[in-house]
Structure 1
Amino acid sequence: MDDFRLKVFIAAARTLSFTRAAEQLYISQPAVSKHVGELESRYKVQLFTRRGSHLELTDAGRTMLEAAGRLLDDYRRLEYEMSLCADQTGGELRLGASTTIAQYLLPPILAHFTARFPGVRVSMSSGNSAEVEQALGEHAVDLGLVESLSRRQGLHYTLFRPDELVLVARPGGKYARRETVTPEELPRIPLVLRESGSGTLEVIAAALAARGIRLSQFDVTMRLGSTEGIKAFVRNSDAMAIVSVISVVDELRSGALRIVDIEGLTLSRDFVFVHAEAEPARLARRFIDFARADF
């Protein structure tokens, strides 16, 4: 069985749509049906069932999906091992990164990595930390980069680099002349926050809980799923936001935003690599080592 047939099945199983699977893989819908039918014939099982206009996985389909994820991981590992035998670094590396890392840290590293290792096919998906860890557990990505404090059982974490969260406001707004605020003042300040599942939100909640302050006490003006959206909101309102300092470098330089210190409170965290095995596969390890050195 070749790995492309498995890729077709996995795409169909995850989207529950032969049409969307065909679009993702740049093949025709009949080709998707053909590959799935060949798998069903080979194993003498039905992988999908149709309920009205919707596809659902059968029990056999769910078993196939779990096994196919493991097999594709083995195929990618084999491809990399063979490239080492040929004294080349090649293969496919699927990265999943939380929003801040995907937007502000990874792009230059990926540019340098692909220039150094042109034989490696790299793809990256992004979401919040919880979504990235879920994708790793489902074998949808080979290596994750997240920013959350929590650690999911069954996954392994390797330090990438430290990060700091800062409180920002627009210079011409209500808090233009404030240099500092106390933690106790924060619940009275209109804030824009990230969505549930965000590593940034988890760090904020943990640090404030240690001071006896709960997020439920806050005056939350808006919850947004991206840092860029949060920054744009703050630039056009009197609300403030707590974001990674690496995400506001340009705004601080241009004067579009300013930092307001929180007295006696440092919001620090680590960006980490997350992988399914204690020792990452060699291609994932190559990327980890490269990214740490490149940074």
Structure 2
Amino acid sequence: MDDFRLKVFITAARTLSFTRTAERLYISQPAVSRHIGELESRYRVPLFVRRGSRLELTAAGQVLLEAAGRISDDYRRLEYEMSLCANQAEGELRLGASTTIAQYLLPPALARFTARFPGVRVSVLSGNSGQIERALADREIDLGMVESVSRRQGLHYTLFRPDELVLVARPGGRYARTESVTPEALCRIPLVLREDGSGTLEVIAAALAGVGLRLSQLEVAMRLGTTEGIKSFVRNSDAMALVSVISVVDELRSGALRIVDIEGLTLTRDFSFVHLAAEPVPLARQFADFALSGL
């Protein structure tokens, strides 16, 4: 975006943290405050308000966020379309994607991209978020797509799309009539979890910590390395699982799985592009822009 202030505001509105905004944009926290203050002075309204230790958007801030999001999307499309006027993409693109992204989000984007740019040769490395970040740091790939909460020093992260984890169970069996559980009750339910190093497991641990619980308190029935394996296990057992909502769309429609609410516990995360702090190679940037544009 040409107006960096809007980029700062959008990031602050999504993270609700000036500290995290500064980290994501590689600027100082005072610089974040200055940019937000300039917007508030320009529009003569407060955009954020503090509720104790929490930061919240005001009504005016919500209006600006919706408008800024539209401006950002339009600008990204314009920038990408203009780049096509000057360049024809070709060459080799090495991508890495964490398991959930590789299975459910990346294939449709790759199909559109390779159809648009047949001269590009694409290879994809799949693993958990930690493995993808290490591969990027070791320069084995040009661009990563991860789902982790933490940020590794020396890497740059850009939001791809938000995601939510949901608790799922099979319609029959032990939990057929269970509509919701408390976080404490969740610790007594047999669960199928991902392996150590996965972004999904990191999100679960962070959410539990927020309500005073630990990952070690969960009753783990099985650990599996893929979401498809986890879903298959749950469909054939009385265990439950916490998985990305995008991974169970078909099962929810067919009735093979159902969502059980967790009272007072929301498990959200960002799917992000990640590259070395230096500007990524042109093809990596072009693919990221293409995926973000939704073309």
Structure 2-normalised TM-score?
0.70
Count of matched residue positions in the alignment of Structure 1 and Structure 2: 212
Q: How does 1:21-32 map to 2 (within 5 A)?
A: none
Match of 2:274 in 1: 274
- Cα deviation, residue 222, structure 1: 0.3
Aligned: 1:201 with 2:201: yes
Q: Which amino acid aligns with 1:155?
A: L
How far apart, CA to CA, are the structure 1 residues paired with 2:258 and 2:115? 36
- Structure 1 residue 279, shift from structure 2 partner: 2.5
Say yes or no: does 1:156 pair with 2:133. Answer: no
- Provide the residue aligned with 1:80 in structure 2: none
Question: Could you tell me how far apart the structure 2 residues matched to 1:233 and 1:274 are?
Answer: 31
Which 5+ residue runs of structure 2 have no aligned equivalent?
A: 1-83
Aligned to 1:169: 169
- Name the structure 1 match of 2:183: 183
Distance 1:137 1:201 in 2: 22
- Residue identity in the other structure for 1:102: A
Task: Please list the CA deviations of residues 26-76 of structure 1 after superposition, one character each: whole Å capped at 9, or x if unmatched.
Answer: xxxxxxxxxxxxxxxxxxxxxxxxxxxxxxxxxxxxxxxxxxxxxxxxxxx
Match in the other structure for 2:232: 232
Q: CA separation in 2, counterparts of 1:85 and 1:276?
A: 27
Change (3 A) 1:87 1:288: closer
What amino acid is the match of 2:282? R
- Specify the SS of the correspondent of 1:188: coil
Once residues 85 and 282 of structure 1 are traced to their aligned partners in structure 2, the CA distance between those partners, rounded to angstroms, is 15
Q: Percent identity?
A: 79
Instruction: Quote the residue 1:78 is aligned against.
Output: none
Structure 1 residues 86 and 213, CA, compared in 2 at 3 Å: closer, same or farther? closer
Q: Deviations over 1:229-249 (max 9, x none)?
A: 000000000000000000000
Residue aligning to 2:30: none
How much has 1:86 moved relative to structure 2? 8.5
**Amino acid of the structure 2 residue aligned with 1:268:** T
**What is the rounded CA distance, in whole Å, between the counterparts of 2:286 and 2:85 in structure 1?**
15
Within-5 A mapping of 1:1-295: 87-294=87-294
The letter of the residue matching 1:263 is E
The CA distance in 2 between the partners of 1:100 and 1:180, in whole Å, is 25
Distance 1:108 1:145 in 2: 14
Q: Which structure 1 segments of 5+ residues have no match?
A: 1-83
Q: Tell me, in whole angstroms, the C-alpha distance in 2 between the residues paired with 1:277 and 1:121.
A: 24
Which whole-Å CA distance do the structure 2 matches of 1:203 and 1:231 have between them?
18
User: In structure 1, the residue corresponding to 2:212 is in which secondary structure?
Assistant: coil
How far apart, in 1, do the equivalents of 2:214 and 2:229 lie? 24
CA distance in 1, matches of 2:211, 2:137: 34
Query: Equivalent residue of 1:206, what SS?
Result: helix
Whole-angstrom distance in 1 between the partners of 2:136 and 2:87: 29
Greater C-alpha radius of gyration: 1
- 1:132-170 superposed Cα distances (whole Å, 9 cap, x missing partner): 000001111000000000100111101100000000000
Give the direction of change, closer, same or farther, for the CA distance of 1:85–1:210 in structure 2 (3 Å limit). Answer: closer
**1:101 aligned counterpart, secondary structure:** helix
SS of structure 1 residue aligned to 2:202: helix
**Structure 2: how far apart are the matches of 1:149 and 1:204?**
10
Q: How far, CA to CA, are the matches of 2:114 and 2:168 in structure 1?
A: 35
Paired AA for residue 99 in structure 2 = T
Deviation at 1:210, TM superposition (A): 1.0
